[in-house]
Structure 1
């Protein structure tokens, strides 16, 4: 590992001086193992399928060979001819890759142009019109946007016929998000004579299938890391891990009612550090993120980012990258590939929905040899998840002892926020419901069992004023929850416009009375359903009786077979009509009917 990482750029591959100077300007002195293993092979016009730990420098491992291949086309690659397409699962990662490529492009030394095709940046027609007017040699984008642009723009479809390189970054995530059909559409527009690279931190069965379908004699490159000088009993004999060797991966356990308190006690002591805080759902990010912002706004820069934020996602992402300290509260939309400088801690308040996402979350820190820390908060019933991750994902963890000297009850402060603003109360209810639903669908359902949850303690940790009605709790006895003495109907919105609408709705309800509850047609028509069921039974019985009437014994079947042979002979003119009539018996009338 040490020998490979000390390899310099100039000694491994013969790149142009401009590319080498750009690499030096970006601060990369030595090559990482994945770059050493991938770049020479990819530059020899081989298809590659690369698996390496997150944060190991995979972006440069495909950007450098791609530019070198395009360099060979200088003079032949025209304005509207696309030489390379890079597909990424998220707009943040695509934007990041585009920024890296832009660092290398220069009118004199590297005379190519690049285009970023992602959602949330404007109308697709603006992107296609820009391509028609200015052209582009390198396309970077998300699957949906690239596919849509190819379908809409005839000139782009014509341009990709000259494609030299196709890159699928975070290939397993592309397939996890359900882009199978979209990728198939994109591949249908691209020429088969091309170089293809698949890059990911994990290799799944779907990636292997994609490798077989879209690549020709690919070279599979797998770069592993080994833990040294650490005593983890669960490591296999080879000591191989899927997390960076410079990452300190830890866990802490607590009761459900103390989980938010533990998080806040930890965060308040990290004022000068940069933190990524992961939650399982968008509703949880909205609720807890806004609450943390209200509780700690004087001491922290706190930003929220999740999949339902469309237009400002890139702006929020770029802003957090530039911060020296602060907290980004997010979902797994930030778990893959994105490179945020100097992240000190990755906190996982909720366990990820699948095991591989755990490794990707942790990989937002300790990137390219830097030191980093990760901490996951687990309930007492979830401790077996530690052994599962160590065995399944080869990610060793140590227990982290929380400092419980703080006497602040942060859950009570959550309730106070809900009492002051009805919007906060409603966000809390939505977050609670979304968390329960996410927990019930967890991939590791043998560890994260819904029946092991204490709904009362969980509601206390969420700072709820009441427990919502939902099927998962309907038949369960909820204990360990004391609702505060407050008139929920009297809680007002801080937003005056929303409060005015609420009062108007209450007034209308008082004058017109309670509207009858909606009952679906299915629930209304039980008697009708019974009648239909009985009608189907009667028809089925009639068909059965009719079938029984049409059955024949052996003698009758033999007679019918002989009659059928006579009919065939008559049709083939092997016998005359007179001979046929002579051979018929008393059943002649019925046979004539058949003819």
Structure 2
């Protein structure tokens, strides 16, 4: 059966330990009076939804929220009826509370009726990334602050599975928030976990479109084989392509309700964010990024900037270079431990006047309120570009985007032709114009105005002992950059020989005039055996 559609845009508690505030995109906005809130806010209060007193205390006293967003207004009453729901809402408009609040209401109702066994998992939330799962856990804990005997746990990759197993077996959790891979590990390897989920009441898939984009469909289908058919299923997504409809058909009961809070006339975030691009030779990209960031910092002492690099190793290396040059930046990528990623994410979330270098681990789902600039460096695809850009202008706030590309990457402009993307001109308010990044004929690669960077690169070149760890990072970045662009030769119109030449020339400007050595096995895996210019050991 076809889904039933609703909506359209426009349209005595136990004390608990203190919790950090959850990372809600509209944190500063949702507590304002409705007349002073952005367009996705409503005049309807959470109190009007018949939520239990404990949840309302959490909303008011911990989160400071009184009014609902559109997706909350439309989703909460439908979910409370027990219906399966597919909800479409723009990122940063309160989707998390839209499913957490009614799921808790289900728990309260079922517990009062004696239909929940202590230690069983009653609500399961699937998240595409570790960071989003932990963010959702913080928000759920804030709502649960004044609930008795109700617990939430997060199970994610990159953490100690034995510790998770002990927590689950020692007391269980009413709500589990998980990444797909780690959840399957528990189903297969944690004694009794399948039985704990046998009476599951609610299954929630958050950022469903992203999970499918990341190739999780087989994992989602496997997860559902462990779960009871008699359950309520909720899918929340920023977009609803065919892939999401297909997984909804598999996971949900016929006649599910489609809640749509995005009208055909409403522009997507990526269509309304001010966006510019710069074509910059590889040799000048470090200097250009440094100058743009300095300009942005001068504009707003409370800036919050996110810079995307093509690979995790490049992210790591560039962050190290900037920090050594006296420009503190945070970095988050797949090469950091989970604990380090959580720490960096929290510092960026809570900080002001901060810059984060990242790989695509931060491209979707995470809420970082108040981003002033999303800077993307290097080759990207449209979907990736849009997801990254979606980190700014969230929850009705402003922000801008800048794409820095090399001449061999100009073909990206064809795939981004329908984006409001214009070349940064002399009067650009994003780059600072000619006075900051220079003109087309200027030697942008010179670092005369950035002596701290030149000192760091010179020390790498000379093999200075102080920079030995950074030299190792440079070698790792070299290999990852080579591998990344080796998979995009056709798009760049390069041969493998050109790839090696361009890579060597680029890294020569980064303190590696002698190409870093690569293992023979690594070169073979890349299919670059016999290509001249490589330093093979």
Report the Cα distance in structure 2 between the residues aligned to 1:143 and 1:70, rounded to whole angstroms.
Answer: 23
Mapping for residues 173-188 of structure 1, pairs under 5 Å: 173-188=210-225
Question: Is it true that 1:278 corresponds to 2:304 in the alignment?
Answer: no
Unaligned runs of 5+ in 2: 1-8, 12-39, 437-445
User: Are 1:458 and 2:506 an aligned pair?
Assistant: yes
Distance 1:16 1:388 in 2: 49
For residues 436 and 104 of structure 1, what CA distance do their matches in structure 2 show?
A: 47
Shift of 1:97: 0.2
Which residue in the other structure is 1:15 paired with? 51
Residue in structure 2 matching 1:415, options 443, 457, 466: 457
Aligned to 2:164: 127
Residue 8 and residue 157 in structure 1: after superposition, are their counterparts in 2 closer, same or farther (change >3 A)? same
5 Å-filtered alignment, 1:101-500, equals 101-107=140-146, 109=147, 111-122=149-160, 124-217=161-254, 218-224=256-262, 240-243=266-269, 247-271=273-297, 272=301, 273-297=303-327, 300=328, 302-311=329-338, 312-352=340-380, 354-389=381-416, 391=418, 395-400=419-424, 401=428, 402=431, 403-405=433-435, 408-409=447-448, 412-413=454-455, 415-419=457-461, 420=464, 421-442=467-488, 448-450=492-494, 455=502, 458-467=506-515
CA distance in 1, matches of 2:268, 2:486: 27
* Contact kept? 2:379, 2:409, Cα under 8 Å: no
Note closer, same or farther for the CA distance 1:113–1:475 as it changes in structure 2 (3 Å cut). closer
Q: What's the offset of the Cα at 1:99?
A: 0.4
Question: How far apart are residue 404 of structure 1 and its match?
Answer: 4.0
C-alpha displacement of 1:10:
3.8
Pair 1:97-2:136 in alignment: yes
The verdict on how the C-alpha distance between 1:364 and 1:139 changes in structure 2, with shifts beyond 3 A counting, is same
* Number of residue pairs aligned between Structure 1 and Structure 2: 458
Separation in 2 of the partners of 1:416 and 1:405? 26
Give the Cα separation in 2 of the matches to 1:33 and 1:51.
11
What CA distance in whole angstroms lies between the structure 1 residues aligned with 2:66 and 2:318? 41
CA contact (8 A) 1:417 1:424 kept: no
Distance 2:511 2:48 in 1: 57
Q: Distance in 1 between matches of 2:515 and 2:90?
A: 42
Unaligned 5+ segments in structure 1 are 226-237, 479-487, 489-516, 519-595
Structure 2 length normalisation: TM-score? 0.76
Q: Measure, in 2, the Cα distance between the counterparts of 1:53 and 1:431.
A: 35
SS in 2 for 1:147: helix
Change (3 A) 1:169 1:373: same
Bigger shift: residues 445-454 or 62-71: 445-454
Q: Distance in 2 between matches of 1:441 and 1:56?
A: 36
Of the structure 1 ranges 39-48 and 75-84, higher mean CA displacement relative to structure 2 is found in 39-48
Distance in 2, matches of 1:417 and 1:203, equals 51
Q: Which moved more, 1:371-380 or 1:79-88?
A: 371-380
The CA distance in 2 between the partners of 1:68 and 1:245, in whole Å, is 37
Over aligned residues, Cα RMSD in angstroms? 3.2
> Structure 1 residues 32 and 350, CA, compared in 2 at 3 Å: closer, same or farther?
farther
TM-score (norm 1): 0.69
Hey, what's the Cα distance between the residues in 1 that align with 2:308 and 2:332? 10
